[in-house]
Chains A and B, each alone.
Chain A
């Protein structure tokens, strides 16, 4: 199949041999996407278990350090697998994803959810010995739990929305009507040089 000469860095990624292979193959995209879903339900499931403990909704008498030990390795394993498969999916349609507000929103939320987790484990976690076995946890830990739940619920919705809106946003259609603030902003980055 013929591909145009890339005019942006995103098109260079998309029209790389790997990007073209994933896009053209009948089985590659669905297979990678399936692994992505299995990885992300592992991440979601284990995060929910930890968040509900932090919120005092479930497992109230189980030590938080034990809960963290039970779940965290699965969360990280699932996350790494989801990141690898997600990157491969991204390579196959890079320029479409770069101008998609739901994709960029999902990436931003993933970054914020990561910072939330990093803050919790580096700052709030310092005093965990004091509330490890208590059903009541400090406000900081509760905030980490509820924001994590909300971020991940939104990440899943945005993830699904990407698949439904891929054809809607396109560099070739920018500037031909009212694009809205977000799309215009993304177009500056996604369509540069085009």
Chain B
């Protein structure tokens, strides 16, 4: 809490603890311009970095846009940030586009992820439909975060839930992705959700 005064992640890249040995992944997914990178930046201990992955896949019946060749190369760029949880555990946050054409990459890139944050703009809820559908299909736990940019939204949670066709068991939270405490709250909401699922799956011996 001593560092709560800094509203921006340090520009210089701090190195990890020498004992760090367990990397964790959380994915932030959403449409373009919804604030994925902003959210990552708000909580990351490094300035968000960007990298890309290029992959090919066999073209049979998977891509109607490409009938001329048997293979399709797709490049997806993604931002990421980092949070050192303790001396051994490091949490990586990935911001990635939720559009349909990227999802076959997700399966590979983000397998083993703890869970996902679906960041939504209430003015463009349809941008999130596909991502939510795929996360449910994959059984990846997720929460929905409404990025209201500090403005009170004219939509109630119930309205947004209905528009997203969001099941009752999926937590929803309102946030301002620019605000560190608010962005932190989104991640805490997700991990609390994961914790509840994990304890329930293990016969709730933990409380």
**A associates with B:** no
Residues of B within 8 A of A (CB): none
Residues of A within 8 A of B (CB): none
